[in-house]
Structure 1
Amino acid sequence: MAPLGCRATQIFPRPDLFLPGEPASVDVEDQEMVFDDGSKNQHRIGRIAITNTIGQSGLDTYAAYGNEDGVRKKMPPERFMVAKSDLLIANGAQPARLVEKWVMELLKDRPVIFHDKTSDIKKFYHFDAAKFFKDHCTLIDTQELYSGLDGNKQPSLATCARLILGEEIQGMVHSPVEDSQTAMKLYLVDHPYDRATKLAEMKANGTYRKVGAFSMIYEQPKDTYKGKADKKTAFNTANPNNGSTKKRVRKLKQAQRDKATKFDVESESTHSTDDISTTTAGASATNGGITNNNITVESNTFNLTLGAGVSISNMSNYNFAPNSTGGGHPANHNTTSNGSTQTSTSSDKVPAPKKYRTKVDQYEAECVAANEKAKKI
């Protein structure tokens, strides 16, 4: 039973209302997809109804689609009875993917009647409905059956109902149940189906198998018709950062964040500059920023090669600073006789020049690379 306020009349499928091989009629009212990137708008199921040959509704439900980045849902005029409130799970709408499975399960191996089948079949979003109907159903389009009526190659359902059935439909509102029932009546004009007689024959020859009211097998047949590059797949391929693909790239983005964090730590504590080597010619010589009795080096490690007659003992103070005004740090060093190389390392690490100006620059560069990789997935 539909929740209070739901305008759909049969939100769960009723396979027990259809005999094996009995024709079924389908009508779809759509919702529109508007793409922020300016792509052509597309349509998908808003509400769908399926009726049998005596007008009973085997399914009448709204389809709920999740929100997607870059896509806005546009509702048709109110007379089509598809509003945003109708498409909420809380108001009785069913997950769109499940609705499409129900539809294919109900319609499998039977004649299926549409009015303007091409338009309605395109509204299936998750599965390749065209391939399914071609493989498992006999499609009848009442618009084609009555082509040329009233001088129109594609007469409307209301026109066919008025001129063939003598009925007025689609007054103040468009109900998919009413439209589905009308399409079935138009089909039965030239293709009668005696349901009571068929049922009696099946019971007599033992081919009738009673189906429970809610015994629908929700599992899709082995051939699930996922092979087509449908609207969603095409959109996700063109927009790898779209919200609908977050699951696919979640690990990739986490790796980006991990790299950015690691970059910050290394920049602050573990990077070091290249070694600095300086050679002196004498005790009073000044060379490369080194003066007698004082050494100032903005580096972690330096190599000092002493010239003839110069001893490391002449250099009484080693001053290591991260910058020219940042103050010094005590050095670990050993006294070495002249003619050899002295190597000293400061007790504090000095940040190296960064490849990127800020961590934001680093992160943005990683994101660009990740996006390029995601497009190839």
Structure 2
Amino acid sequence: MGIQTVSAHGMKVVKAGLLTTVQDLGRIGYRSSGISTGGAMDRYALRMANLLVGNEEGAAGLEITLVGPELEVETDLLIAVCGAYLEPTIDGEELPMWRPVFVPRGAVLRFGGAISGCRAYIAAAGGFGVPRELGSRSTDVRAALGGLAGRRLAAGDALPCGAGQGAAAPFQWAAAWATALSRQGKAAAATAPEAAGRRLPWAAAPWFAPPGAYGGGDGEDGIVLRAMPGSEYGQFSEAAREALFRERYAVAPASDRMGCRLTGTPLIRQSRAELLSHGVTPGAVQVPPGGGPIILAADCQTTGGYPKIAHVATVDMPLLAQAKPGDAIRFQLVTLDEAQRLDRRRELDIRYLVAAIRSRQP
């Protein structure tokens, strides 16, 4: 489809990056009709970015993959950038992550390549006001559904932010921080030496939200994903089951939002019987005939016929989202009870963090 523009200004895409799309937390309740849930690959990073600008956790933001875009800001905005480090800058100055940042009209946001992680998220106070389709603003590129004309962003696209074109009005807390940071930015710009002068008065909050979801990433053994045995776990040889939780695998270049393909020790299934196609969900570790595991991700199909040797715990799906080609992955066996306990603990930590964020007054 061609470039889609809207009358309400927020951000203009100057350069689109490798894969930049509008994402929220996905389409809930349509998998029985064959429609993927989709949504942000790293739900934690998007939720944190939204909380830092006073949005509902599920508001739409921008998902940036591996190589980031260049965006021109066309109205004053309070934004937050969370997730992978893609060298974000504002008019050439480093953009602080994991905190509210006031960005004035005329500023240019630029992102480079992924230094650590794979995907970064931009939230703006009020959200991105692209139309909802089947209850979500998320982009499903394969289905040409949602987002901006159902596709990745392109140079020349205009993105509505804040209270325009269906986005929400900024929450009072966010409006207060935007006002305070605007004043701070103007004061800094007014006193900056001319030689190193700040062209526009942007400013960041002096505090940040600690990114607590990535504790299992970038260790000596690579990214550690906790996983439970899958429904066909017993159909694999003992050697294959041991290899899954002993060996290191590498993320293959063919990985995408549908699934993370891994290379390494092949996993051999003892049973030769074909499986009937059955329901699958993100996190399932399928093993096709070649023996190379595939971890299903946000845009995965709704049914599949490959055996499932394991299922990644929900709490570690943000780690999977941040795995880029070449990264090492190792699986760690946990029980269902342990996985549920870890998920409850994560949600409790987020609730504590929400209270801490809201207690920060300018």
Q: TM-score, normalised by structure 1?
A: 0.23
Q: Which has the higher contact order (CA 8 A, sep 6+)?
A: 2
| Structure with more strand by fraction | 2
Q: TM-score, normalised by structure 2?
A: 0.24
Name which one, 1 or 2, has greater alpha-carbon Rg. 1
| Structure with more helix by fraction | 1
